Chains A and B, each alone.
With several copies, the nearest count.
Chain A
């Protein structure tokens, strides 16, 4: 089988989902990396649930770090024109109220109905629900960026999530290290495969049956 995409490349693919003028919230991990790949000529307004709208660049040196300027992932931000600060109640008014156009989160499991599990692995210490649950319920469009399988190569896209849900039926698109899959009313639709990967190979690592898009493409990266 071909190589899987690395995190940066997945982040690049995620960033293709950004449309001009969108308000976007990025979860910790791969989602956050995608802010480095804003498509040329597009202006995106990033929201962070700890009370910031309109961030962009990150601090690149120790000197630039300002403990009053971080995002929810703990990254240090840099002031930029258009930014606004607000408190947590206001921030989640934005999130719960449907004002976030696009949210990208990591995932532990996604079901064929678009259920998401991403906060708790049974048997471990209680996980961190954080802001993910409100985001999953509130965002207009939810993209999950995750590896296609667990470390021991078990599918993470399942008939039904075995881990506790973050939200039922919330996922619109799954971007993995081998494929891009849309959640539709008729089930999961395979739209893109990573370079070198066939639909059959993706299916073999996916529990539910995938429908194949008529215009199935190789991810252009």
Chain B
């Protein structure tokens, strides 16, 4: 048998996500870095009590009837983790950017936060990226300067090393990572496009199961071995907008 990590459908790819899972979701703002098809599959799948980890929990879909923004704000077929919040699947967000309500786009996240349905762990973006990377790299905890003397550092262990104060931060032990890439081969090597790499590149390999959503599959050997951003070892399943079923 030859290795082939391509999964036939988006639904199949997320079928084993369990209630209470901690899920890394890549992306940054409305850029083309959100694993939208996988997120929608997870919405259909319906797992509950999820913890979402990412730059932002996401605004989800616009309220019915709300006018689209004056400027097209996202790429085609775009969705983010906010639709899982709107579907009442999420109990916690670990993020750097909770976002705000804005006209025609009330934040369900903030609503559920106010109602006590959800909780928020706010993490500086760099600490978030490093806590994700730490889990990938087998580092359970590390010291960082970020947060010392602020609300973020409160209640955390601190230590002075070489005359400077640091806080101790822990790896995020995630169960699943949903990442968006540009191309993959059957081993799971990934390349990205521009700034759509963002958290996706940091999250691939940082969970027990990493599931990638790509634009297209290429033959093994087509990706330049010097320029593979995510080596295959970090990827468990690949879904393709061209080759996997689901929508």
Contacts and interface: CB of A to CB of B under 8 A. Distances in A.
A and B are interacting partners:
yes
Interface of A: 20-21, 23, 41-43, 45, 47-54, 62, 66-72, 74, 77, 79-100, 120, 125-134, 137-138, 164-168
Chain B contact surface mostly: loop
A128 B97 contact: yes
Nearest to B107: A125
B29 A74 contact: yes
Chain A contact surface mostly: loop
Interface residues of B, number: 75
28 contacts: A43-B3, A45-B233, A50-B28, A51-B195, A68-B194, A74-B29, A77-B195, A84-B228, A85-B195, A85-B225, A85-B226, A85-B228, A87-B199, A87-B202, A88-B55, A88-B128, A92-B129, A92-B130, A94-B205, A94-B233, A125-B101, A125-B107, A129-B96, A129-B125, A129-B152, A130-B96, A165-B150, A165-B151
Of A42, A90, A129, most buried by chain B (CB within 10 Å of CB) is A129
B232 interface: yes
Contacts of A92: 125-126, 129-130, 137
B110 to A, nearest CB: 5
Contacts of B107: 125
A135 to B, nearest CB: 8
A5 B192 CA distance: 42
B240 interface: no
A69 B194 contact: yes
Nearest to A167: B150
